A and B are shown apart, each in its own frame.
Chain A
């Protein structure tokens, strides 16, 4: 479970995240939507422990990230939008090191690594250097690392970037499977179709504040467009009216 309460982050005079609260229950996929620069990645990075919030509280699996950072992080898997992977390590070595960071040291580690690489269709690349991987392959490797230690909560920042349709399908299936096993997934995305298709709940953030929250149907109703797809709803809520002017400019 992930619980975020009144999260605030300021950069100088600019408030990037302003009182954000989100709760993701076990087995739930929660979509975190918003236009560019709305505060999604800043919020996700605070929950991951990469940025210090100026105010607010973050609980992962009941552990306060500020007070028990190791316990909270041990329960969390993180898939960043721009992942870092050691270029000169092989995929297998990277997962071995990553598992070690999360305390995996038993004889089943090698089997688990092979299993994850097979799930993410990277099995035959296990002994290849990461530097030779495509962006999509790196993305899948990071995802296999995030799920390697069997986390109870997973944070995902833009999961579909750089993935081909087959890869995207694979990721959707895996996320659903993990959610069915009780993993709480908080996923920031621009791909509204993905949010519509996968998320049990969505939160829309604009200028650092949550402006809409609920199921897709709830948000549609909130926008006063109950029968529409999510894209026009999103544009209406986030001030996409400016798009109408594009016609005149172009």
Chain B
């Protein structure tokens, strides 16, 4: 084979991705349409909300003449600064996979593909993976700003030629950081470090944004605070960052002008970054890839504490071993446990919101509103629980993957196996939901009856939702999935979420009506009538029965599905 004939432009290496997407679209799987409609609808709603939000904020700011323009200008710079850091982190994680861990690299690296073309193809893939979400978020926001400021159509072109180099720069930087890290650590260890860093970054961002109390800015009397708020975000370094250049270029564009200086800064920096990172790739990629082939050492290999704790639990040896195995696998997978960090951050923000809730501004209504919030808290905690269940409990059976044959061929019943999955999922979910409910209601200062009722109700709901997630996870397993998120987004995962949402709404209705009657009578200092008492107990009994039925039927469905399974992945 003549080497000269092997020269192909780099987009050729992206063909499998394109063909695979085309084949996937042609051969639809069960539930694809439902999933597409659901996620597409959610996506459109988010895009519409972003557009409306950006439009409204710009419209409001525009009412303050020069101060408004100043705010839009700084706001744009700040918006791009946020995306800049997000893109860089996202690129570090994405490039680790595209440049070093992706399975198809084993095919491409043995082929006579020039390193430069391989770099460009993988960089394009990284760009797509790391940047698509930012572009999807940025476009409606910039469109909202453009519409609110009555920008000329040329603004569309300015957006395109600004966003492209803006995305390229942090992605190139992220890829360079990955290249450096992988040459220092083995790639798989680097992935752990990066996943952890990324989650810490996301968690701190969530906490920071919340504790800055941006709601203060919405008060008219706090206008001086707004300028002070934005001023704190400025630093002498800001004009040297691509986010500032992008903000300036777009601000000029939105006013019908053009800022060629900052545009040129964006494009020349992007081009220089690609050339430099490409050269670094040619020099160090193979060494890093070679290192990434090395096996990593197991964490918790001598973690005897876990086995000791498990021995104390009242479990059969089979369930005990399944539990220990599940916990070890969970702890060794950073992509799994690190997501708990984000969850804890969201919980803190959630509870903090209750703390800063200024209900005393409504003196006559505060009691009623507090109790109303208690129900909102119950529904919200249940939704959080459903989300946690679909992400962590639903994939439990699928997580066995190609190793499921071990369970199928071992002398244990599939009922035992599934119930073990249920209990190991229930404990953390129950603790989490009880913390949310008890702490939330305590911070709100709701009626003691509601506190007790919510605590009991959420426990029933935890059994039901975890049972349903475990059962449906067994009914619709995806043993071939690469990660639990893929399982959660599958047909079964979506079906679980739909059923879970319906269950939560019915439960809140069943609990809300008798509770409101009770509280209403308590305020009026009247006892419940006989009919009310019957209805009161009937509603609670129905709610309890519905929870028990959802729990047990969910589990029974799962056990039967496992027993009827005709193919075992191996």
CA distance A150 to B108 in the complex (A): 18
Instruction: Report B-chain residues with C-beta under 8 Å of the C-beta of A93.
Output: 16, 19, 23
- A80 near B106 with CB under 8 A, answer yes
Cβ proximity bits B82-110 to A, threshold 8 Å, 1 near / 0 not: 00000000000000000000011011111
Cβ proximity bits B103-123 to A, threshold 8 Å, 1 near / 0 not: 110111111111000000000
Q: List B residues at the A interface (Cβ < 8 Å).
A: 1-3, 5-8, 12-13, 15-16, 19-21, 23-24, 27, 103-104, 106-114, 286-287, 289-290, 293-294
Cβ proximity bits A88-116 to B, threshold 8 Å, 1 near / 0 not: 11100100011011110100000000000
Q: Which of A80, A84, A100 contacts B12 (CB 8 A)?
A: A100
A222 to chain B, nearest CB (A): 33
Instruction: Report A-chain residues with C-beta under 8 Å of the C-beta of B114.
Output: 70
Q: With CB as the reference atom, state the residue of chain B lying closest to A131.
A: B480
Interface segment among A42-50, A201-209, A226-234: the answer is A42-50
A87, A100, A101, A149 pick with most chain B CB within 10 angstroms: A101
Shortest Cβ-Cβ A-B pairs, 5 listed: A88-B20, A103-B5, A103-B6, A52-B290, A101-B111
- Given A75-B1, A100-B12, A151-B1, A84 and B104 touching (CB < 8 A)? yes
- What are 27 A-B interface contacts by the 8 Å CB criterion? A50-B106, A50-B110, A50-B293, A52-B286, A52-B290, A69-B112, A70-B3, A71-B112, A73-B111, A74-B6, A75-B1, A84-B104, A86-B19, A86-B20, A86-B104, A87-B20, A93-B19, A93-B23, A97-B16, A98-B107, A98-B111, A101-B108, A101-B111, A102-B111, A103-B1, A103-B7, A105-B8
Answer yes or no: A76 CB below 8 A from chain B CBs: yes
- A89 near B111 with CB under 8 A, answer no
Q: With CB as the reference atom, state the residue of chain B lying closest to A45.
A: B293
Instruction: Report A-chain residues with C-beta under 8 Å of the C-beta of B107.
Output: 84-85, 98
- A11 near B20 with CB under 8 A, answer no
A36 to chain B, nearest CB (A): 14
Instruction: Report A-chain residues with C-beta under 8 Å of the C-beta of B109.
Output: 49-50
Which parts of A18-72 form the interface with B (CB within 8 Å)?
45, 48-52, 68-72
CA distance A82 to B9 in the complex (A): 28
CA distance A68 to B7 in the complex (A): 14
CA distance A27 to B326 in the complex (A): 52
- A71 near B111 with CB under 8 A, answer no
Q: Which of B16, B20, B24, B293 contacts A51 (CB 8 A)?
A: B293
CA distance A12 to B185 in the complex (A): 12
- B6 near A78 with CB under 8 A, answer no
- B2 near A103 with CB under 8 A, answer yes
Instruction: Report A-chain residues with C-beta under 8 Å of the C-beta of B6.
Output: 70, 74, 101-103
- Given A50-B110, A103-B112, A89 and B19 touching (CB < 8 A)? yes
- B113 near A101 with CB under 8 A, answer yes
Instruction: Report B-chain residues with C-beta under 8 Å of the C-beta of A12.
Output: 294
B103, B107, B114, B293 pick with most chain A CB within 10 angstroms: B107
CA distance A5 to B294 in the complex (A): 23
CA distance A54 to B525 in the complex (A): 86
- A149 near B106 with CB under 8 A, answer no
How many residues of A are in contact with the other chain, CB < 8 A? 38
- A89 near B20 with CB under 8 A, answer yes
- A74 near B1 with CB under 8 A, answer yes
Q: Which of B15, B110, B289 contacts A78 (CB 8 A)?
A: B110
- A88 near B1 with CB under 8 A, answer no
CA distance A218 to B19 in the complex (A): 51
Instruction: Report B-chain residues with C-beta under 8 Å of the C-beta of A80.
Output: 106
B216 to chain A, nearest CB (A): 50
Q: With CB as the reference atom, state the residue of chain B lying closest to A11.
A: B294
CA distance A150 to B156 in the complex (A): 51
CA distance A56 to B109 in the complex (A): 20
A60 to chain B, nearest CB (A): 11
Instruction: Report B-chain residues with C-beta under 8 Å of the C-beta of A174.
Output: none
Instruction: Report B-chain residues with C-beta under 8 Å of the C-beta of A51.
Output: 290, 293
B80 to chain A, nearest CB (A): 36
Q: With CB as the reference atom, state the residue of chain A lying closest to B291.
A: A52
CA distance A227 to B16 in the complex (A): 52
Instruction: Report A-chain residues with C-beta under 8 Å of the C-beta of B2.
Output: 74, 103
Instruction: Report B-chain residues with C-beta under 8 Å of the C-beta of A100.
Output: 8, 12, 15
Q: Which of B19, B104, B110, B287 contacts A49 (CB 8 A)?
A: B110
Q: With CB as the reference atom, state the residue of chain B lying closest to A90.
A: B23
A108 to chain B, nearest CB (A): 13
Answer yes or no: A122 CB below 8 A from chain B CBs: no
CA distance A71 to B103 in the complex (A): 23
- A73 near B110 with CB under 8 A, answer yes
B1, B20, B106 pick with most chain A CB within 10 angstroms: B1
Q: With CB as the reference atom, state the residue of chain A lying closest to B5.
A: A103
Instruction: Report A-chain residues with C-beta under 8 Å of the C-beta of B16.
Output: 86, 89, 93, 97
Q: With CB as the reference atom, state the residue of chain A lying closest to B6.
A: A103
B19, B21, B27, B294 pick with most chain A CB within 10 angstroms: B19
CA distance A103 to B74 in the complex (A): 52
CA distance A71 to B108 in the complex (A): 14
A186 to chain B, nearest CB (A): 14
Q: With CB as the reference atom, state the residue of chain B lying closest to A73.
A: B112
A138 to chain B, nearest CB (A): 13
Q: Which of B24, B112, B286 contacts A74 (CB 8 A)?
A: B112
